[in-house]
Amino acid sequence: MSAPAAEVRSFQVTIPAGTPLADPVTQEIWFPAREVLGVHWKVPPGPAGLMGWRLTMSGGNAVIPTGGGWIVTDNDSATWSLQGQPDSGYWELTGYNTGIYNHTVYLDFLLDLVGAQQTTPALIANDILSLTTPVTTPAIATPSPVTATSVTTPLPFTVPNITSPPPVTVTSVTTPQPVTTTTA
């Protein structure tokens, strides 16, 4: 599976040892308003079935997994495509950890600007975790005699096991159509 993404935001959420299922912890995850296209998560080796977590919003309403369950895994990762999620940027990770060691969940949110349209988006492939840089990004023309717009996308970022490509700059110049007026 691959998901178009203009931006990737990474988070590490540590669930403290001795956190009971009956009283899980919730860690806020915040980024600017963005359309969430997918989430790549990773749980390193160690929890051995003693830690469970889920992505939540609005004080605990489960988004992943649906139905309010828990993700209980060890040395595993996946990328989930998402559609129609709120674009506020206010997410949470809720989890429990009945073990004696802290455990961390690594999250990469695959994001796009709200309302953005790209002709060739960046792709993050789950199976080989490679990144391809967009070739073109349309500029929005504004009414003026001549408008030059320069856009650099994506910004360099650091994600474990993914190499950030160099930025690509796209410049376009637009000239509005002439307007003819007639007076009587």
Q: What is the CATH number of the domain that holds 99?
A: 2.60.120.380
Per-residue pLDDT reduced to its tens digit, 6-38 = 899 999 999 999 999 999 999 999 999 999 999
Per-residue pLDDT reduced to its tens digit, 98-153 = 999 999 999 999 999 887 654 444 444 444 333 333 433 344 433 434 444 444 44
115 domain-assigned: yes
46 domain-assigned: yes
Q: Does the predicted TM-score (pTM) go above 0.75?
A: no
CA neighbor of 169 nearest in space, from 135, 128, 121, 118:
135
Per the structure, the count of domains in the chain is 1
Per-residue pLDDT reduced to its tens digit, 166-179 = 454 444 444 455 55
Confidence at residue 94, expressed as pLDDT on a 0 to 100 scale: 94
CB burial readout 24-57, b (16+ within 10 A) else e: bbebebeeeebbbbbbbbbbeeebeebbbbbbbe
Alpha carbon distance 39, 45 (integer Å): 20
Alpha carbon distance 6, 36 (integer Å): 10
User: Is the Cβ–Cβ distance between 111 and 3 less than 8 Å?
Assistant: no
113 domain-assigned: yes
175 domain-assigned: no
177 domain-assigned: no
29 domain-assigned: yes
Please count the other Cβ atoms lying within 10 Å of the Cβ belonging to residue 95. Answer: 25
Full domain range(s) for residue 21: 2-132
Confidence at residue 64, expressed as pLDDT on a 0 to 100 scale: 79
69 domain-assigned: yes
